[in-house]
Amino acid sequence: MDSTRSSVTMTGPVVVGTDGSDHATRAVRWAAGEAAARGRPLRIVYATATGLGRPYLSQEDSRQVGGFAEGVLEEAAALARRLAPVVPVTTYVCEDEPAACLLGEAGPDATIVVGSRGRGGFASLLVGSDSLRVAAHSHVPVVVVPSGDDQEPKGVVLAAARDERDEETLRVAAALAAREGASLRVLSAWVFLENVGSMATMFDGVDRLAADQATATARLVAPVRKDLPDLTVSEHVVRTGSVSEALVAATAGADVIVIGSRRRSHSIGSPLGHVTHAVLHHAHCPVVLVPHP
């Protein structure tokens, strides 16, 4: 790996958003543990969205919202200090929208942590709009902690990798696995003529494409093996009808999945690619989104 060029890291301070919900509390727990592992400060942010010219809010209303926010932050900070006593913890009441607050508080080397959803929105949505906005627009790593993150540790960091654009993803995943004493599982899922069903097996090119994909994945992983010779690394190249399904299924056996935040080049629909979007909604473990260069 070329260590002279700028690369994404997960070694800086941690910024986490909270609104007092169970989802946010899970995010605070994860963020406290991550800040402790890094030996870096933790910043807990509550967004009130009261500074945007709300005509229906009186000054007294704004004061009450601010007081509620301070109370939520005190509880979150107390939880973080119990879980990570040596971590410096600060809190901030931000009057902007949640995504703008978190993006604004994150410095160039920070990591943003959010719960899968907050108090607002529809209960049927697995990932809230604020979390998706942060994930879609952040230039630093974003961790989305799912609501069901209570599984036993697996000792596995899962990395989704397809091509050279995922070099940063592998860098981050490998460093995280090495720090945690976990193994690194690299999953490269690819699709071939998924609309022709069983006829796909009749094409002579399938085996060749599978071999090419395996070679490309091995080439992508080779620098990780060289830089971290003591790290246990396994490569899994699978042909599937749905890359999203393959990645989501694999998250059941991992402590975290690291995936590049591929973003669409046009403005129609979600800024995030459909695979990233699906993993955020359905992953069984926390999702680390690594911004592509």
pLDDT tens figures, 26-64: 999 999 999 999 999 999 999 988 876 665 667 777 788
pLDDT band per the 50, 70, 90 thresholds, residue 204: low
Kindly state the tokens that stand for 285.
């473990």
Separation between Cα atoms, residue 99 and residue 112, nearest integer Å: 10
- H or E element at residue 91: strand 89-94
Helical (H) or strand (E) element with 159? strand 156-160
Report the alpha-carbon angle 53-112-235, nearest 5: 145
pLDDT band at residue 269, thresholds of 50, 70 and 90? very low
- Look at residue 123 in the predicted model and tell me its pLDDT: 38
List the chain domain ranges. Answer: 14-145, 156-290
Using DSSP's 3-state secondary structure scheme, residue 157 falls into strand
pLDDT number for residue 35:
97
Average pLDDT value for residue range 109-135? 69
The reply to whether 156-290 shares the fold of 14-145 is yes
- How far is 176 from 11, CA to CA, in rounded Å? 10
Alpha helices for the chain (secondary structure H): 22-38, 59-83, 98-105, 129-137, 167-180, 205-227, 243-250, 274-282
Please give the residue that has the higher pLDDT: either 238 or 199: 238
Q: CATH topology for 156-290?
A: Rossmann fold (3.40.50)
Length of the chain: 293
- Report the percentage of the chain scoring pLDDT > 70: 82
Residue in the block written with tokens 């406290």: 32
pLDDT at 59: 76
DSSP letter (8 states) at residue 271:
S
The CA distance from 4 to 272, in Å, is 29
Classify burial at 7, counting beta carbons within 10 Å of its beta carbon; exposed 0-12, middle 13-18, buried 19 or more. middle
Fold annotation for 14-145: Rossmann fold (3.40.50)
